[in-house]
Structure 1
């Protein structure tokens, strides 16, 4: 509960500390690794974020949130190819569309518009 509250309030360092406690108790929880990735991405610790998102996806290859967030990190570091790869994965996971798919698709569109403008 503390970890989620810290994330929602934007206290990312606190959230990371709380999430590490949970990971110690539940090391195969993809949601926790996804949240660790998110907190690190918000702090612009992109290498760390990628590590946690990859861990989440190793545990649950169809974790839609992790695919969307890792795709956005790839955009932050200028890797459109990998962002599009994860959008493709979401297209397969969410056959009829889902919020993570549309969120990443919009982020890619904005990225491309900024690159051409």
Structure 2
């Protein structure tokens, strides 16, 4: 069959229509959720902004909603660990990092932050295990470099 410009345009339009009809309808402010009932649920970006401003209690409140809606969100569990650690809630932080790493054993942020937690607790051997895992994943990434810096700061070079 010979392809004409009109036939090609119609085919492209049909493909585009099919693709867009398969996308979920997103409500404004839903954070990418396909549920219109989630429009008021704070999202991960808001939690990250709260952490960045040092509002850890607020971040944890927001993240609780995120992980309730998305229990397999390793980024959210990791950020909960970070916020908890910054508030000196080390046992909570440990649980949150462990959850993030159960979901994604190669989560570089959780490996870095958990390693920093281990250093804070004086568990240098476990921190070195995290550093070794990061080295295997990425020798040039920020997480690896940051954990090395944490070792240096702790006098554990």
Match of 2:87 among 23, 40, 43: 43
Question: Displacement of 1:56 after TM fit?
Answer: 0.4
Q: Looking at both structures, which has the greater relative contact order when contacts are Cα pairs under 8 Å and sequence separation is at least 6?
A: 1
Structure (1/2) with the larger helix percentage: 1
Question: Displacement of 1:6 after TM fit?
Answer: 1.1
Mapped to 1, the partners of 2:113 and 2:87 lie a distance apart of 14
What is the aligned partner in structure 2 of residue 60 from structure 1?
104
- Superposed, 1:1-117 pairs within 5 Å as 1-94=45-138, 96-112=139-155
Mapped to 2, the partners of 1:2 and 1:101 lie a distance apart of 26
TM-score, normalised by the number of residues in structure 1:
0.91
Stretches of 4+ moved more than 4 A in 1?
A: none
The gaps in structure 2 that reach 5 residues or longer are 1-44
Larger radius of gyration: 2
The gaps in structure 1 that reach 5 residues or longer are none
Mapped to 2, the partners of 1:16 and 1:53 lie a distance apart of 14
Judge which range, 53-62 or 2-11, deviates more.
Answer: 2-11
Mapped to 1, the partners of 2:136 and 2:51 lie a distance apart of 29
Question: Any idea what SS the aligned residue of 2:101 has?
Answer: helix
Number of aligned residue pairs: give it: 113
